Amino acid sequence: EIFGPVLASATFETEAEAIALANGSEFGLAAGVISSDLERCRRVQEALQVGICWINCSQPCFCQAPWGGVKNSGFGRELGPFGFEGFMSVKQVTTYTSSDKWDWYPETGPSPRL
């Protein structure tokens, strides 16, 4: 990864070859796709193994959007609500509030009251 005013370029014959070249890197912070064919842009960005993809623009950063890479470009996300996920542990909680008996095994008949 290069953090500076540098443009890396490579030649390719097909869309698949371009994607393979980009994904062949051990890094995956960001990529840019430039084309007047927005369907092609969508298809290419779906195939790119990066955490950030710019289409027909270069490096806008929105504080509400997740920021982070994949592969050896880090883990997790910063910024926006996604930035908190690395510090959270999700727990599913179900509370039964009915006064009716809870029937653990309805196929075998009534169960003992909790």
At 99, is the pLDDT very low, low, confident or very high (cuts 50, 70, 90)? confident
Contact 110, 101 (CB under 8 A): yes
pTM over 0.75: no
pLDDT band at 97 (very low <50, low <70, confident <90, very high): confident
DSSP 79-104: STGGGGGGG-----------SSPP-S
The string of pLDDT tens digits covering residues 69-95 is: 999 997 778 888 878 877 777 777 777
Q: What does pLDDT average to over the chain?
A: 84
> How does pLDDT run across 1-56, given as a tens digit for each residue?
677 777 778 899 999 999 999 999 999 999 999 999 999 999 999 999 999 999 99
Task: Enumerate the domain spans of the chain.
Answer: 1-114
